[in-house]
Structure 1
């Protein structure tokens, strides 16, 4: 296996090798994330991005219902509903429809706190990406990642869960932007994906997207995805410290154990990236959670919900996002959501919203 150098982004300017860095977890990243909140993380870069575009950040942040001082610390915890409002306001105040990408391209592996540090000290790029997928929920329950692959291709996909509808494209642009930065940290600065899929209409000016991703772009897609060679997952990460990795893994497990999320919400998170694939049946989800199918049903019943009800809830969320942010045809949306015919999807959407998908898309603004 090829060894690659990822030492430039270890501790935010600390040039010491990993073995000389303090083997303790910084106090600022030890706090458990309450339900409905998100660590600021990547979105800390909103402040310098606004300034770069000539907009004073504090009034915009206050208009979203947040204290500007929270943006002094990437590990500040804020309601994710407020973060969605903030992204929407930022686009409105700046007139920049790719604001999220500007935020993401400024962020680094350190923006992900404990998870980013665990990625940095993982043995291989594949272990790092799997650490992201398994543990991002300790910091961020809005962006949901998933890793799949076949025929030598890896597909790293992100979904925006329970985000304000108008902020979804910005949040996903930021996620894609920082993830490419992270992969370049781990694989080398010359790394580039094979292709990037974006669930948004193609902008008139794609220059920034092409400059940052350095790869073919496909807009109006069903998911936000980075496609790259599966061989890259085998690359070793130079300077990874096994002792630090063990400490970080232990602390993240403690955080996950103390997080106290509802079981039904965990199922929603899993479905958000899997509903548009062929691996989202109750049996598939039970297998993923390493529990019996009957155990899954029993635990959902205890929360007053059934698997089908949750599945339809997430289908409705995905359908709204694709109808509002993309020009994906109705037949394609129906197929992506598991409907054999567009008419079946139309009937279901009418039950959920009181409108046909076409009428809902035509109406436009639903916030």
Structure 2
């Protein structure tokens, strides 16, 4: 089995406590780490883009519940905060592809330790798997997953925090970031074969096709880059195994210092199962290498249940697809593994007090 297909995480419930700012790595105290954080680099990019557009960012940051001095006082912000800020910035700038612009600012250097680990990985596949495995160092509100099916590789990005603001913008930002880092490893002329984005078809898709230099499919259930699996076997020029080993050791020490959070881990795994159209408690417990009853006890101790997490995740995805795509109720019910659209409608009404169609109509009227 290729090394990029094996996990490099020793303890499933370890959590990182470093985050990145302008390419450097700074340690957080364990107690200050939020469970849905994102590193501040993207927030800085939002501010820079607004300034370049001639827009004063102060009022936008204030509406989002923060301030432009946050770069001097904080190392992380909440995942929801980044989505809310990006959405407000996009509205103020009149720029439907604002998330794409933010993602275009990302580089291997902006990924800090993970970027260094990727740069010195043996193969492109090892680098992508390193990003997927240690993505929590950058973002604890979404997951990256590498799936190989025959000759096709798919790198997906899927938020797992329920009802996150600005999900479509989060997703296009991530797709642009993934494209940039792969071009850093494979050469500036590299392009994916296809790009999937969970957002409404924009009035002008040119910014997307121009940047990705590939067909872009909107109205999808998650964000992803699709490319030939043979790319994963490509060696990375100039990779230094000594630097790789040193950096990976530092990352593991960061991860080992953080207390476990079973609820957060189960959210991630449930989202992963939904991406692959499989969600069962026994499967998630098996992936986490614990018994179902043990998983149930641990979740109860954290004040939740597997069913509650699964339902929250399904509801969050349902709201995202209803708001950000034109997917039919039948398509959404299939994505969420309901037996039929009527079952999805019944569950959605139970969760929210209204029907999916009425909720979508209300969102579009805002």
TM-score band, normalised by shorter chain: 0.7 to 0.9
Q: 1:261 to 1:169 in 2, by over 3 A?
A: farther
Cα shift readout 1:256-288 (whole Å, capped 9, x = no counterpart): 222335211111022223314233322322232
Runs of at least 5 residues in structure 2 that lack an aligned partner in the other structure: 1-22
For residues 259 and 287 of structure 1, the distance between their equivalents in structure 2, rounded to whole angstroms, comes to: 23
- Asked if 1:146 is matched to 2:145, the reply is yes
1:29 is matched with which residue? 26
- Tell whether the 8 Å contact from 1:29 to 1:113 is kept in structure 2 after alignment: no
2:109 is matched with which residue? 110
2:335 is matched with which residue? 336
1:359 is matched with which residue? 358
2:228 is matched with which residue? 229
For residues 27 and 205 of structure 1, the distance between their equivalents in structure 2, rounded to whole angstroms, comes to: 36
Mapping of residues 1-367 of structure 1, within 5 Å: 28-31=25-28, 33-71=33-71, 76-162=75-161, 165-364=164-363
User: Comparing 52-61 with 91-100, which one deviates more in the overlay?
Assistant: 52-61
- Tell whether the 8 Å contact from 2:142 to 2:268 is kept in structure 1 after alignment: no
Task: Look up the SS of the partner of 2:207 in the other structure.
Answer: helix
Once the 2 structures are TM-superposed, how far is the Cα of residue 365 of structure 1 from its aligned partner? 6.0
For residues 62 and 166 of structure 1, the distance between their equivalents in structure 2, rounded to whole angstroms, comes to: 16
- Tell whether the 8 Å contact from 1:198 to 1:219 is kept in structure 2 after alignment: yes
Once the 2 structures are TM-superposed, how far is the Cα of residue 27 of structure 1 from its aligned partner? 6.9
Cα shift readout 1:50-104 (whole Å, capped 9, x = no counterpart): 123221223322332323233469x821233322221122012111111000111
Once the 2 structures are TM-superposed, how far is the Cα of residue 107 of structure 1 from its aligned partner? 1.5
Once the 2 structures are TM-superposed, how far is the Cα of residue 192 of structure 1 from its aligned partner? 0.8
Task: Look up the SS of the partner of 1:156 in the other structure.
Answer: strand
Once the 2 structures are TM-superposed, how far is the Cα of residue 144 of structure 1 from its aligned partner? 1.5
Once the 2 structures are TM-superposed, how far is the Cα of residue 163 of structure 1 from its aligned partner? 7.1
For residues 168 and 198 of structure 1, the distance between their equivalents in structure 2, rounded to whole angstroms, comes to: 11
Q: 1:63 to 1:308 in 2, by over 3 A?
A: closer
User: Comparing 101-110 with 247-256, which one deviates more in the overlay?
Assistant: 247-256
- Tell whether the 8 Å contact from 2:90 to 2:98 is kept in structure 1 after alignment: yes
Task: Look up the SS of the partner of 2:236 in the other structure.
Answer: strand
For residues 72 and 129 of structure 1, the distance between their equivalents in structure 2, rounded to whole angstroms, comes to: 31
Task: Look up the SS of the partner of 2:198 in the other structure.
Answer: coil
Q: 1:244 to 1:315 in 2, by over 3 A?
A: same
For residues 36 and 216 of structure 1, the distance between their equivalents in structure 2, rounded to whole angstroms, comes to: 32
Cα shift readout 1:227-263 (whole Å, capped 9, x = no counterpart): 1111111111111221221222122222222233521
Once the 2 structures are TM-superposed, how far is the Cα of residue 300 of structure 1 from its aligned partner? 2.0
- Tell whether the 8 Å contact from 1:158 to 1:273 is kept in structure 2 after alignment: no
Task: Look up the SS of the partner of 2:172 in the other structure.
Answer: helix
- Tell whether the 8 Å contact from 2:277 to 2:335 is kept in structure 1 after alignment: no
Q: 1:217 to 1:187 in 2, by over 3 A?
A: same
User: Comparing 42-51 with 235-244, which one deviates more in the overlay?
Assistant: 42-51
Once the 2 structures are TM-superposed, how far is the Cα of residue 113 of structure 1 from its aligned partner? 1.7
Task: Look up the SS of the partner of 2:134 in the other structure.
Answer: helix
Runs of at least 5 residues in structure 1 that lack an aligned partner in the other structure: 1-25
Aligned length: 341
For residues 66 and 222 of structure 1, the distance between their equivalents in structure 2, rounded to whole angstroms, comes to: 30
- Tell whether the 8 Å contact from 1:176 to 1:224 is kept in structure 2 after alignment: yes
